[in-house]
């Protein structure tokens, strides 16, 4: 079964550093999302991306965050200057149409020291 893949599985960085989290959505999918989950808490929406532009973003997704689909397969989340509170599991997700269920990757655990 096709799956969403994310790299790296773990990322440790120093506060203030830039990180890029990478995702390869399922190939025929058109809608892309980033979510995050702080340890022990619920999964929170960050941003949705469709037709090469952000369609919606949450309050969490401030100017430090950006997303990009640089080619036909990758979908990246960049955090420009990481803060301690950015430590979380970040999930990429995709779907074929707006109506279909969302498929999640296995996540990148980001630790900001």
| Minimum CB distance to other proteins, residue 16 (Å) | 27
d(CA 83, CA 1): 36
Sole binder of other proteins in the list 21, 79, 95, 112 (CB under 8 A) = 95
Q: Which residue number, 15 or 102, has a Cβ lying nearer to other proteins?
A: 102
Selected range binding other proteins among 13-21, 37-45, 67-75, 78-86, rule: CB under 8 A? 37-45
**Range 1-20, binding other proteins (CB under 8 A):** 4
Q: How many CB atoms lie within 10 A of CB 70?
A: 9
| Minimum CB distance to other proteins, residue 48 (Å) | 5
Q: How many CB atoms lie within 10 A of CB 9?
A: 11
Tokens of 55: 């369609």
d(CA 18, CA 113): 13
**Range 55-94, binding other proteins (CB under 8 A):** 55-56, 91, 93
Burial class (CB in 10 A: 0-12, 13-18, 19+), 67: buried
Residues engaged in binding other proteins (CB under 8 A):
4, 31, 33, 41-45, 48, 50, 55-56, 91, 93, 95, 97-107
């Amino acid at each position: 079964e096709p799956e969403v893949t994310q790299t790296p599985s773990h990322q440790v960085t120093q506060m203030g550093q830039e990180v890029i989290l990478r995702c390869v959505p399922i190939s025929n999918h058109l809608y892309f999302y980033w979510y995050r989950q702080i340890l022990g808490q619920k999964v929170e929406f960050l941003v949705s991306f469709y037709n090469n532009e952000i369609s919606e973003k949450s309050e969490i997704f401030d100017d430090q965050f950006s997303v990009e689909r640089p080619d036909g397969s990758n979908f990246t989340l960049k955090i420009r200057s990481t803060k301690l509170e950015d430590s979380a599991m970040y999930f990429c997700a995709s779907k074929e149409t707006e109506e279909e269920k969302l498929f999640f990757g296995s996540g990148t655990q980001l630790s900001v020291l």
